[in-house]
Amino acid sequence: MIVTENLKRDFGELTAVENLNLNVSEGEIYGFLGPNGAGKTTTVRMLSCLISITEGKAFVAGNEVGKNNTEIRKNTGLVTENPGLYENLSAYMNLKFYASLYEVPYSIQKKQIEKYLDMLGLSERKNELVGKFSKGMKQKLAIAKALLHEPKVLFLDEPTASLDPEASKIVRDFISSLKEEKRTIFLCTHNLDEAEKICDRIGIFNKTLIEEGSPAELKSKLFGQKVVFYLKKINDDIISQLKSLNYINDVKISGNQLIVEIEKPKEKNPEIIRMIVNSGGEIVYVTKLKHSLEEVYFNLVKGKNNG
């Protein structure tokens, strides 16, 4: 649904995006993560036909950016950190204005407006001036605005920035619900917890793509699969036996814990447990060592900056 081929954007002597290759599928929520100045917003602006491409190609909903921009705009919605609403108009009249702008047929405008006001919990406030709305309410209205014409692709650039926890959760839940309608969501965010909760795949980005995959795949690629065996006491025989197993990549000791990096842990854990017991070990519990997406992100971005 979104494909880029060696995408590049220069601003004079500054290269904001370089050699970017993406392939985002229909119905996928794709998280685009990177530090400030990484080129995330520039990428979204290219894909939504707001700025031109310096080099390379990009396709959105089957149409090439730069050649079929009108068709792309018909099939995409864009939500930025700045909601872009008219504060001296009511919520309903804002949506009515944008429905006309998006060429939503007059016969269904009312139905579309009420549908999204209801889905985002704004129906009771539809006749109030937007200038009286909180930032969270404005952001929800901006999402409604971007969906009136039922786009196939939705670009979200920091949609929950500066929102309180309750408003952020409402927006996250709504984004997740769009997946059931097979919409493709391209989500730029600094909120790593948010990305881990709702994204199918994540691209770590800093001018170019550093790494991508599901949250679980990214963690596994960077840290491997590690299992913690907590014992009452660790003896030398246990350590020796563990290190002799060819499917164990690494063993670390932390107090009475054995942290074992292992391939196919579900398959091999029973064998390791038997070996520990046969070597005189008493196991208190076994658990998987979990890493956060934050650890993945900072390791990858730090590595890119140093390299």
SS3 category, 21: strand
Q: Where do we find the tokens 């050699």?
A: 19
Amino acid at 99: A
Cα–Cα distance measured from residue 285 to residue 283, given in angstroms and rounded to the nearest whole number: 6
Which pLDDT score, from 0 to 100, does residue 191 have?
Answer: 77
In which band, very low, low, confident or very high, does the pLDDT at 307 lie, cut at 50, 70 and 90? Answer: very low
At 51-79, the pLDDT tens digits run: 999 999 999 999 999 999 999 999 999 99
Does the pLDDT of residue 49 top 80, yes or no? Answer: yes
At 184-228, the pLDDT tens digits run: 999 998 777 788 888 999 998 989 998 899 887 887 666 667 888
At 108-119, the pLDDT tens digits run: 999 999 999 998
SS3 category, 133: coil
Cα–Cα distance measured from residue 214 to residue 220, given in angstroms and rounded to the nearest whole number: 10
* Triad 113, 140, 156: Cα angle to 5°: 105
Q: Report strand pairing: 153-157 vs 76-79.
A: parallel
Helix residue ranges, H only, 75-214: 91-101, 106-119, 135-147, 165-178, 192-198
Mutual orientation of helices 165-178 and 135-147 as an angle, nearest 10°?
Answer: 10
Cα–Cα distance measured from residue 58 to residue 62, given in angstroms and rounded to the nearest whole number: 10
Which pLDDT score, from 0 to 100, does residue 264 have?
Answer: 76
Find the mean pLDDT for residues 145-163. 89
How much of the chain, in percent, has pLDDT values that exceed 90? Answer: 50
Contact 56, 4 (CB under 8 A): yes
Cα–Cα distance measured from residue 75 to residue 152, given in angstroms and rounded to the nearest whole number: 5
The whole-chain average pLDDT of the chain stands at 88
Helix residue ranges, H only, the chain: 40-47, 69-74, 91-101, 106-119, 135-147, 165-178, 192-198, 215-223, 236-243, 265-278, 293-306
Does the pLDDT of residue 174 top 90, yes or no? Answer: no
Phi, psi (deg, nearest 5) at residue 263:
-85, 140
**Is pLDDT larger for residue 6 or for residue 298?**
6
Which pLDDT score, from 0 to 100, does residue 259 have?
Answer: 85
Does the pLDDT of residue 89 top 70, yes or no? Answer: yes
CB neighbours of 247 closer than 8 A, spacing ≥ 6? 262, 263, 264, 268
Does the pLDDT of residue 173 top 50, yes or no? Answer: yes
Domains within the chain, CATH numbers bracketed: 2-219 (3.40.50.300), 223-293 (3.30.70.100)
Cα–Cα distance measured from residue 94 to residue 270, given in angstroms and rounded to the nearest whole number: 61
Phi, psi (deg, nearest 5) at residue 82:
-90, 115
At 261-296, the pLDDT tens digits run: 887 778 888 888 988 999 988 999 888 877 667 777
**pTM for the structure as a whole:** 0.77
Q: Which of 92, 93, 135, 138 is nearest to 115 (CA)?
A: 92
In which band, very low, low, confident or very high, does the pLDDT at 302 lie, cut at 50, 70 and 90? Answer: low
Q: How far is CA 286 from the centre of its chain?
A: 31
Cα–Cα distance measured from residue 132 to residue 120, given in angstroms and rounded to the nearest whole number: 17
Contact 65, 46 (CB under 8 A): yes
